[in-house]
Amino acid sequence: MKIAFIVGKFPVLSETFVLNQIIGLISRGHKVDIYGYQPDETFKVHPDVEKYQLLAHIYYPPKIPDNYFLRFLKALQLVLTNLHKEPLVLLRSLNFFKYGRQAISLRLLYSVIRLLKAQPYDIIHCQFGTFAQEGMALRDIGAIQGKLITSFRGYDISQIVQQYGENVYDLLFAKGDFFLANCEYFKKRAIKLGCDEKKIVVHGSGIDSSRFPLKVRNPHPDGKIRITTTGRLIEKKGIEYSIRAVAKVSKIHQNIQYNIIGDGYLKENLQQLIRELNIADKVHLLGWKNQPEIIEILENSDIFMAPSITAKNGDQDAPVNTLKEAMLMTLPVIATRHGGIPELVQDGVSGLLVPERDADAIAEKLSYLIEHPEIWTYMGQAGRTYVESNYDINKLNDELVQIYRQVLMNDLYSPDLALVAST
């Protein structure tokens, strides 16, 4: 099959789930082209980007000037230079009445330029509903051809709905060929918003279990308890509450160290909080790390925390891959009853769940794990078994190929697809 991925910034370390699908499809003999946007920083990329030479598969639009007058002049130049190639497509991209903000901002035109030589695709897979809006418009004007599949993954089915209203995806639900949700929680939300329940299945974000070594968890000889969180430093990750919890616990268990992997707009706020709580010697913001570096840190950790919250703008998490990675490394985890996370972490079995925004509850569970290292191995093994059974990347990529084939054979859902998507 020939497949187009319409994504956001690519490649970025925080979206390995997109990378895993692309690599899985390429390794199965399918041709994949990636239509994304250049990331702000590319000094750290996943090793597989180079291994599979993915940069040769990426098509970026021309850089869009922030100044609207310069943007207009550049757009005029692009139209004049390329009008002979696809005149109708270029003119349709400027239909302000039909495509609204996408056309008025000229972003649709800029996006079209990279598709002028594109051949028809079997599948157009849009990662996140927001980019499906773009994919739908591009297909509508004739810039790209293929069956349109949309993956809902988190902010697109939570924050965007709160921001733009519950009708934001009405047209997409009507015109899209099929939909995937990365957890049951977001599938139900999509159906409530108007998605045909026969056109959507749960398809989780997969993990390559073989990359995460199995380890029996026992306390370190030096007696230090090493706690880790991996995630962007943004509101919905709730890291403020895990920092406050560590501050509380450190008054009793002083030999603890909390490492936070990631970066984001809240970095300075969190640094200030760490200073105010006088725990700079115990809490460390490590910045972005690539996957081998993350594995090394997790291997030397004892407990993993994922204190996700519903942000004020409505943004929510699915069962996040960072939690899956920690569980594969047989780490006992503390997470929140939030979004799709309870579908991943079984309270009291593979980890411990607490309410959102509750530093006291996190501190209580953290103290419990510190004081009961004998349950680390049990919880860790239960977590690894669950992730291997439900989120194996090879099984999920095989499933994805079957979903593509089903969509190509049938315009609407058939019972066979439900069977494929549930195995």
Q: Given this model, what pLDDT does residue 217 score?
A: 84
pLDDT tens for 334-362 read 999 999 999 999 999 999 999 999 999 99
pLDDT beneath 70, residues of the chain: 13-14, 41-45, 411-423
Query: What's the confidence (pLDDT) of residue 51?
Result: 78
Answer whether 218's CB lies under 8 Å from 373's CB.
yes
pLDDT reported for residue 230: 96
List domains and CATH numbers for the chain: 2-60+114-206+393-422 (3.40.50.2000), 209-390 (3.40.50.2000)
- State the Cα–Cα distance between residues 297 and 411, nearest whole angstrom: 46
Cβ-contact 18, 140 below 8 angstroms: no
Q: How far apart are CA 112 and CA 81, in angstroms?
A: 13
> Left (φ > 0), alpha (ψ -120 to 50) or beta: where does 264 sit?
left
Specify the DSSP element, H or E, that contains 304.
strand 303-306
In 3D space, the residue among 189, 112, 123 whose CA is nearest the CA of residue 157 turns out to be 189
pLDDT in the model for residue 94: 92
Which two structure tokens, joined as six digits, stand for 171?
């047209």
- Which tens digits make up the pLDDT trace of 188-203? 999 999 999 999 999 9
Per-residue model confidence (pLDDT) at position 117? 82
Tally: H helices and E strands in the chain = 18, 13
pTM: 0.86
Question: Residue 367 CA to chain centroid, in angstroms?
Answer: 30
Contact 227, 246 (CB under 8 A): yes
Q: Please state the φ and ψ torsions of residue 172, each to the nearest 5 degrees.
A: -65, -45
* Cis preceding linkage at 11, omega within 30: yes
Q: How many CB atoms lie within 10 A of CB 210?
A: 11
What was the pLDDT predicted at 126?
A: 96
Nearest to 139 by CA among 119, 124, 128: 124
- The predicted pLDDT at position 421 comes to 45
List for the chain the helix, strand, coil content (%; round to 5): 50, 15, 35
pLDDT value for 418 = 46
Q: Of 270, 324, 325, 271, nearest to 297 (Cα)?
A: 325
